[in-house]
Amino acid sequence: MGLFRANSARKQAAELAKVRKALAKRADQESPEAMALRHRLGLLLVGTGDWPAAEEHYTALAEVQVRVAGEQDPGTLGAWTNLAVARAAQGRIAAGLDLLESTVERYVAAVGPGDPATLQAQVMLSEMLSLAGNYPGALAVLDRHHDGCRAQYGPAAAETVAAGVRRVGVLRTLARFEEAKQLHEELAAHASTPQEQDEARAIELLIKAESGKAHGIRLAARLLAERRPTADSVEVLATVLRRAGEPAEAAVLYRSLLAATPAESPRTWSLAGELARACLESGDLDQAEHLAGGLVESTALPDAHPLKLGFRATLARTARARGRDEEADRELAAVVAGLTEVFGAEHPDTVEAAEWLREGADG
């Protein structure tokens, strides 16, 4: 743990102790002052990632909120939202989704579709749907979210652009690249500063790389990473290089990105998965097997999630490279079936996995 993160953890622990002490002094645990402290305590538990404690806390808090303020009170809705997140964070994604979907509906009824609290809850719901592998559902939520941002803030506002960028991300995942390109061009027209223009350029390059045009944009990706060496631009360059057949250099970049990313960040899943694949494709079978094996065993993602299926594919291809063809065939067949269930047979990821499976049969 770095010095900053260690200091942050100490501050959070101190704040938790302070709030608990203040709450314990309240004779009436349902007074407005005590309820404010209970909400603060819950946020601290979420911030520290103590999900079992957060779930227990918000289960009790939501019950009290309903009794003292009703189901449509913002405090009640916030408690339900954080309870849903705590459940999902512990692997009970279906339970979290059920609660969060009903909570978003209550937000719309209570404060309206354009209220900031509704909009934020929609973002959380879209992320939870993506975590469950339900990308069409996530896109439907983001469509409503984008419309709400436009109505609330205007088409050029930062909040509206950010909502559109989220939609582009899901469209890319679904391989609906032409739609992603068109929407991104609309959003990029609002980029006014050099930083915003470079961020838009990064997404443009990702869409091109993911749609099969990586070879022609290697120089553009390098120039962007040199001009603005952020984590996003370096990841774009790594993505372009791996897809353009330069996995060794991509692996170096992915390794540096992974080292700089907090272990608890969801971004580590995709970065580690890409690093494992780059290692495999550059001939580092030991590292590929180590990384992919650890990712497959992790319970942080559902077994049917496309990222988890991708980890299994890398592990299977490593087995093939080591001569364990029967194991590779069995795993790749399961990966193809899983990706077909999530994305359909025509999605590029499904087609690619099916081709790896055919290579084994042809060999």
What confidence tens digit (pLDDT) does each residue in 132-173 have? 989 999 999 999 999 999 999 999 999 999 999 999 999 999
Is 17 contained in some domain?
yes
Calpha distance 308→253 (Å, rounded): 22
Region 81-90 average pLDDT: 94
Calpha distance 92→197 (Å, rounded): 39
pLDDT band at residue 363 using 50, 70 and 90 as cut-offs: low
Averaged confidence pLDDT in the chain: 93
Q: Summarize the chain as % helix, strand, coil (round to 5).
A: 80, 0, 20
3-state secondary structure 94-121: HHHHHHHHHHHHHHHHHHCCCCHHHHHH
Dihedral (CA of 288, 289, 291, 295) sign? positive
Is 326 contained in some domain?
no
The alpha carbons of the chain give a radius of gyration, in whole angstroms, of 23
Range of the domain at 76: 1-128
Global confidence as pTM: 0.90
Note the pLDDT of residue 1: 39
Is 99 contained in some domain?
yes
Region 182-204 average pLDDT: 95
Is 248 contained in some domain?
no
What confidence tens digit (pLDDT) does each residue in 42-54 have? 999 998 889 999 9
What confidence tens digit (pLDDT) does each residue in 269-301 have? 999 999 999 999 999 999 999 999 999 998 888
What confidence tens digit (pLDDT) does each residue in 200-237 have? 999 999 999 999 999 999 999 999 999 999 999 999 99
- Cβ pair 235, 255 in contact under 8 A: no
Is 60 contained in some domain?
yes
Instruction: Report how many domains make up the chain.
Output: 1
Note the pLDDT of residue 339: 97
Is 145 contained in some domain?
no
Q: How many Cβ atoms sit within 10 Å of the Cβ of residue 318?
A: 26
What confidence tens digit (pLDDT) does each residue in 105-122 have? 999 999 999 999 999 999
Which CATH number covers residue 16?
A: 1.25.40.10
Is 119 contained in some domain?
yes
Is 298 contained in some domain?
no
Note the pLDDT of residue 4: 44
